[in-house]
Amino acid sequence: MSQEHDNRGISREVIWECALLILIFVLGIILFRQAQAFMSGVLGAFALYILLRNVSFKLTEKIHRPTLSATIIVICVILFIVIPLSLLAWFIIAQLQKINWNTNDIVAPAMQAIDIIKEKYHIDLVSEKAVTFVAAKVTALGQSIINGIGDFFINILAALILLFFLLSGGRKMENYLASLIPMKNVNKKETIERISVMVKSNAVGIPMVALLQGIIAWIGYASFGVPYAFLYAFLTGLCSVVPIVGTMVIWIPVGIYFAILGLWGKAIGIILFGAICISQSDNLLRFILQKKLADTHPLITIFGVVVGLPLFGFMGIIFGPLLVSLFLLFVDMFRKEYLTESTEDSAVPEDIKHEDNTD
């Protein structure tokens, strides 16, 4: 009778546990969907917290007031990060607004190049519909960037508010979050270290490389008289987030365009500038930053950016590679925890095992 009562109690307890987990999961999905508009701000706050947590801890130890420490750091973030980024955003928007986003004007140079190739070499590269479709996508991208300026500042405000509470919470918040992770302490430590290293690497390295390459590209494009030089420099900076191929997607077609028009001096100049200055600066900057921050495999960055951008928007450049890196880390943890012994046993042939036993 007592055993039956215990079984009922256990089953009831399991039912309540499952119901509570389902409720947490459902509410989490609802909150996540409602907070998607502010996701860039939330992720930005977490990235800033990881970058500034050590500074916050040291400052709190000196003044013994976590709230004041968080306030000082947030003010510094506004002065040295938010204001410069806002000025840069306004500059980009002002430059994009100067561009005539008429689809016909964008299609005209490409169609001119296609017509020249068709007349000289009798090769029909692509249809006018395909070029118009691509131009329409580029136009939509430019307009979305211009229209997204309001969301940009709303997410910055959300990031600053959340960053204040993260910094003021400090180690208590970290200990609480660590207690929720269903892992051994060794795996928890490795996971937290991987997150910290990846966020620091991507949050500092990727935007810095993109900004510097965009500036270098703009100097080159403007010097060689490339139309819409700022737009192509902006796209060059964006494409730098993809290793190996990256910026070649922009400066090689620009050089080919000048070659088709018969402007061989500009064509050779653009290609040489892209190969020597733009691409080599990319390799040099990545080499320096990887040595100082994290030696991330290029494939992790490529797949991370592809996965992260649709999920998190611009912040996917940082958190997309982090997701891929954590996935590989968890797979490796699972292999070490549950598969290592069985794999080693199955990998040893029977005759070798027999010889070892006889010895």
- On whether both 50 and 171 belong to a single domain, the answer is yes
- On whether both 193 and 146 belong to a single domain, the answer is no
pLDDT at 359: 46
**Rounded Cα–Cα distance for residues 200 and 293 (Å):** 7
- On whether both 239 and 329 belong to a single domain, the answer is yes
Evaluate whether residue 345 is within a structural domain: no
Evaluate whether residue 234 is within a structural domain: yes
CB contact at 8 A, 69 and 63: yes
pLDDT at 134: 58
Evaluate whether residue 276 is within a structural domain: yes
- On whether both 297 and 213 belong to a single domain, the answer is yes
- On whether both 86 and 169 belong to a single domain, the answer is yes
**Rounded Cα–Cα distance for residues 222 and 313 (Å):** 30
**Rounded Cα–Cα distance for residues 233 and 220 (Å):** 9
**Rounded Cα–Cα distance for residues 115 and 257 (Å):** 12
- 3-state DSSP assignment of residue 146: helix
- On whether both 98 and 221 belong to a single domain, the answer is no
pLDDT at 145: 54
pLDDT at 353: 46
| Tokens encoding 338 | 């549950």
Who contacts 187 (Cβ-Cβ below 8 Å, separation ≥6)?
Answer: 333, 337
pLDDT at 22: 92
- For residue 195, the enclosing domain spans 184-338
Domain boundary among 157, 180, 203: 180
**Rounded Cα–Cα distance for residues 51 and 285 (Å):** 20
- On whether both 240 and 204 belong to a single domain, the answer is yes
- pLDDT of the chain, 359 residues: tens digit per residue: 555 555 555 677 788 888 888 998 899 888 888 877 787 788 888 889 988 999 999 999 999 898 999 999 999 999 998 898 788 777 776 766 666 555 555 556 666 666 776 676 665 555 556 556 655 655 555 555 555 555 777 888 888 999 999 999 888 888 887 787 777 777 778 778 878 887 877 777 778 888 888 899 999 999 998 887 887 888 888 888 766 677 888 888 888 888 877 788 898 999 999 988 888 887 777 667 666 666 667 677 777 877 777 777 666 777 788 788 778 878 887 887 777 654 444 444 454 444 444 44
Evaluate whether residue 253 is within a structural domain: yes
- On whether both 134 and 235 belong to a single domain, the answer is no
How many domains, in total, are found in the chain?
A: 2
pLDDT at 59: 92
- On whether both 130 and 82 belong to a single domain, the answer is yes
